[in-house]
Structure 1
Amino acid sequence: MVDVRELAIKWALKNAVDHGGRAELGPVIAKMVAESPEVKARIKELRPVIQEAVEQVNAMSLEEQVRRLEEIAPELLRREARKEEKKLPPLPNAVKGKVVTRLPPEPSGYMHLGHAMSGLLNYLYARMYEGGLWLRFEDTNPRKAGLEYYENFRRGYRWLGIEWDYEKNNSDDMKLYYEYAEKLIKEGHLYVCTCTPEEMSRQRREMRECLHRRHTTDENMELWSRMQDGGFKEGEAVVRLAGDMRSKNTAMRDPVMFRIVEHPHPIVGDRYRVWPTYDFAASIQDSLCGVTHVLRSSEFAFRDELQNYIRRLLGMRNPTIIEYSRFEFKGTPTSKRVIRELIEEGVVEGWDDPRLTTIDAIRRRGILPEAIKEFTITQTGFSYAKRVYDWSLIASINRKILDPVARRMFFVPEPVKLTVEGLGYSEVTLPYHPSRDMGVRVLKVDNWVYVPRNDLTKIGVGNMLRLKQLANVKLTTLEDDTAVGEFMGKEPVEGVPIIQWVGLESADVVVYKPGELIADDGSVNRDSMGILRGVAERSVETVRYDEVVQFERFGFCRRDSGEELKFIYAHD
């Protein structure tokens, strides 16, 4: 005997995840009947149970819906992923069942859209080739790593629907790095250098070898031990690779492989004071993890030669490296350093400020993970050409996903009270959605309504307007906070501008409208967050926290607070 409630929850979750977080009764019943035909004969009896399941699912956040669906029916999530993956170009040197990719975040800041898009590519390719995916934290700089950042990346990847098969931290293998370092010192490939950073930079510019390359193996091993035992302070000694100081690639000019960092690590603590640089640790880890394909942005291209060289010295296999243009978005920074400065200066309120491209910020803005996924697949190209994306590209995809599922409501920014002579008391029943059965609301008016000031100013005294689904009105006077009009009938008149309105039952609403934080000339726009105060129909109080609705003639907005009627504008 089928468990009807379980079946209803499963298909309600699937329907909600596919449609921006809101399930509909009809499609859920259809899926249940398709899976268990015996449900059809009892549908009248079971309808209340199914309705309750749909309401329970709709009360969840989209993130929770994805998590629950992954728990009870992960194949429904994976099926969607496979459908999308068909749009990706094939990988070179890829063998089905053998491909291994990785998510390599540095836990030194919050996950942003570039991390998300790169993560999606690695995830989708791993699944396309039925391979494996590592989540590997590049955390060998103790001064930058923070526990909150590890969890932020995990949460962000889960929100995107990314599943990883294995997880580790680069800091887990410190003893192994030391073993490899000693091996390379003894073979003459690494040496300890006590030059100042300024002197090392000068050597690289002048393509001049450091005198410390002449150290004997014993001298290098003694200096290496002193670095670990406290014989040098931070900045007094480093371990460098004996590379090629005349190479056109500056990354090969005796780069630093180990340095002293006198700062506790959030996971390892203070057990180590000598830490490998990114290039040394990442080179080794890609081999240890069996990574076959490294997919990353082209800013790393000059490091390919160095990392491949390190692996060759250690007798390790090199992966196939595929690079693409860095993901940048017009009007917003992705640099952690720049964002930190903006936070410290009070320009933005935090890492989740909706003007930023962090994943927390994008979620607050009402952008759905499905939109990011589709954008990634359609826009990514394996090219070095720099591209700066416009927000409108993501908005167009997000709008397409939201439009079938978002409830419609009236919101009036900067309201003016319009008295309509001859209108009288009236009630209007309007659907929440123009084409889907999502219920209705009843709007009540007497002889006045709130309307947007900007609309009245544009229409002008003496001209006619239409209050949507209500009445035609001729505007006769317009003052600062009030206006008067004359009722001109209820039948629509062609060519008359239609505006939204709010009547007797209203609620005060605040909408935050993010603008471009960085101007074209690189300056910071400190007034880039617009704040619009207005009134909405009373049914706005039924909007759940995290739900996105469409305020008609205004735009899609996400409720940002469970207590206040505070919304964040996503796009039109």
Structure 2
Amino acid sequence: MWDLAAYRIPQDRMPHFRTGHEWNIYPTYDFAHCLCDSLEGVTHSLCTTEFVLSRESYEWLNRTLRVCEPMQREYGRLSMTHTVMSKRKLRQLVDSGRVRGWDDLRLFTHNALRRRGVPPGAILAFIHDLGAARFDQAVRSHLETTVPRLMLVLTPLRVVIEDLGADLEGRDLDVPFSPKDPSMGRRTLRLTKTVYIDQSDFREEDSPGYFRLAPGKQVGLLNVPYPIQATGFTKDRETGGITEVEAVLVRDGKKPKTYIHWVPEGEGSRTIEVRLYDPLFRTESPGGDGFLDDVDPNSETIYKSAMVEADGFEAVKRRALAKVEGGDGQDEETPLLGLECVRFQGMRVAYFTAPMNTWC
């Protein structure tokens, strides 16, 4: 091992930038770091890879002085696209008001990931596959097999099925939470004469390559035994937006090419606020002093009148909270911040959680 300097003694009597002329002798990093960790009871000293050569002196000095011997371990700094990991830059984002706080769901801080509903297993899967998979891909792969599916409509459009009939109106449909995993259980979804679909699932005029609902066209409603066909629609005179679609059941039709999700009218659905997030930054590698100018002001989209099936969500919520109360799936060292343990997939939309009574 090479000889290491323990102290630096300024010879030119130039003032120190912090202490001025108060001290004439200063311990070096290699001398002070290991002893400070030992005195403070540190068990593992984590540092980046440029300090790997200092591990030998770190362990040797503590061992020679027969003091407590923490372990130094080096790690590579994690880089993520479309975000920043620097605490200094994160503080600028928070202090400038470009995000709501350190737990804003567009950040990648520990608290933000927990509020986003990212489970520990997904983070571990990402670390294990680092270099072969991106973070969001690892999270989706983990959630795909572990969370139930619900129908969620972001921009509700009223659809009235004129001839639903007494045999179907009010019928309780038995729907699985997962088409691939029966162990997730089932829930009940009541079919009503009026349902709500997403506005993007209907067009005034049909076109090639468009497979959803349009006048004279048939589509299937998920888990409903017969497809529907649009027969007309109503528009708002002032805005020109479509407010209602008239439809009929096609009991003798062919199997539809496309199925769309929906929620029932009345007590079977609930109006909620939903937030969708895109990357906080426009470019993959925001950097430099002007990184704040790269923040995308449209990275958060809020839907204040979204609708979700009520009974299904309540069942998911009860199961998730019972699992946590039973001590299954929660690390005692990192208690949950809210309802982010309530995770589900909104069909054809995204994965969601429910922090602070807001569905994000």
Which of 481, 493, 500 does residue 243 from structure 2 map onto? Answer: 481
RMSD: 3.8
Q: Which amino acid aligns with 2:187?
A: R
Q: Is the 8 A contact 2:55 2:72 kept in 1?
A: no
d(CA) in 2 for partners of 1:517, 1:374 = 23
- Indicate conservation of the 8 Å contact 1:466/1:492, yes or no: no
Aligned pairs for 1:527-566 within 5 A = 527-533=298-304, 534-539=306-311, 540-544=313-317, 545-546=339-340, 547-561=342-356, 564=357, 566=358
Q: In structure 2, which of residues 214, 220, 228 is the aligned counterpart of residue 466 of structure 1?
A: 220
- 1:407 to 1:312, Cα distance in 2 relative to 1, 3 A: closer
User: 2:322: which partner in 1?
Assistant: none
Residues 329, 388 of structure 1: 8 Å contact kept: no
On the 8 A contact 1:420/1:487 being kept in 2, the answer is yes
Partner of 1:452: 198
> Where do residues 22-101 of structure 1 align in structure 2 (5 Å cutoff)?
none
Q: 2:282 aligns with which of 519, 541, 544?
A: 519
CA distance in 1, matches of 2:222, 2:81: 36
Whether contact under 8 Å (1:279, 1:307) holds in the other structure is no
- The answer to whether 1:393 aligns with 2:123 is no
Find the aligned partners of 1:283 and 1:188 in 2 and give their Cα distance. 12
Q: Give the AA of the match of 1:498.
A: Y
Q: 1:377/1:446 Cα in 2 relative to 1: closer, same or farther (>3 Å)?
A: closer
Structure 1 454/490 Cα, relative in aligned 2: closer, same or farther at 3 Å?
farther
Partner of 1:236: 20
Q: State the match for 1:364 in structure 2.
A: 115
Structure 1 residues 441 and 490, CA gap change in structure 2 (3 angstroms): farther
1:238/1:280 Cα in 2 relative to 1: closer, same or farther (>3 Å)? farther
2:193 is the counterpart of 1:442 = no
Q: Give the 3 Å change call, closer, same or farther, for CA 429–445 of structure 1 in structure 2.
A: same
Contiguous gaps of at least 5 residues in structure 2: 204-209, 236-241, 287-293, 318-338
Tell me: CA distance 1:488–1:313, structure 2 relative to 1, closer, same or farther (3 Å). Answer: closer
More RCO (CA 8 Å, sep 6+)? 2
Report how far residue 349 of structure 1 moved: 0.9
Matched, 1:500 2:261: yes
**CA gap 1:557/1:290 in 2 versus in 1, 3 angstroms:** closer
Distance in 2 of aligned mates of 1:536 and 1:286: 52
1:432 aligned residue (174, 177, 187): 177
Q: Give 2:7's aligned residue.
A: 189
Check the 8 A contact 1:352/1:361 in 2, yes or no.
yes
Q: What SS does the corresponding residue of 1:519 show, helix, strand or coil?
A: coil
Aligned equivalents of 1:326, 1:188: Cα separation in 2: 28
The question of 1:211 aligning with 2:51 is answered: no
Given that residues 239 and 257 in structure 1 are in contact (C-alpha distance below 8 angstroms), is that contact kept between their aligned partners in structure 2?
no
Tell me, in whole angstroms, the C-alpha distance in 1 between the residues paired with 2:102 and 2:273.
Answer: 21
**Secondary structure at 1:526's aligned position in 2?**
coil
Counterpart mapping for 1:8-23 below 5 A: none
Supply the AA of the counterpart residue of 1:535.
M
1:422 alignment partner, one of 152, 163, 167? 163
- Please name the residue that 2:359 is paired with: 567
The residue correspondences of 1:231-380 to structure 2 (distance < 5 A) are 234-237=18-21, 257=27, 280-285=31-36, 296-298=47-49, 301=50, 303-305=51-53, 315=64, 323-379=74-130
Shift in Å at residue 257 of structure 1?
A: 4.1
Residues 232-258 of structure 1: CA deviation (Å, up to 9, x unaligned): 9944247688xxxxxxxxxxxxxx648
Aligned length: 299
Structure (1/2) with the larger helix percentage: 1
Task: Please list every run of 5 or more consecutive structure 1 residues that lacks an aligned counterpart in the other structure.
Answer: 1-183, 194-209, 214-222, 224-231, 242-255, 259-277, 380-386
Change (3 A) 1:316 1:377: farther
How has the CA–CA distance of structure 1 residues 344 and 286 changed in structure 2, closer, same or farther, with 3 Å as cutoff?
closer
Equivalent position SS for 1:416:
strand
283 and 313 in structure 1: CA distance in 2 versus 1, 3 angstrom threshold: closer
Q: By how many angstroms is 1:291 displaced?
A: 9.2
Identity of aligned residues (%): 25
The 3 A distance-change label for structure 1 pair 395 and 491 is farther
- Give the letter for the 1:502 counterpart: V
Residues 146-165 of structure 1 mapped to structure 2, 5 A cutoff: none
The answer (yes or no) to whether the contact 2:83–2:281 under 8 Å persists in 1 is yes
Inter-CA distance 337–464: structure 2 relative to 1 (3 Å threshold): same
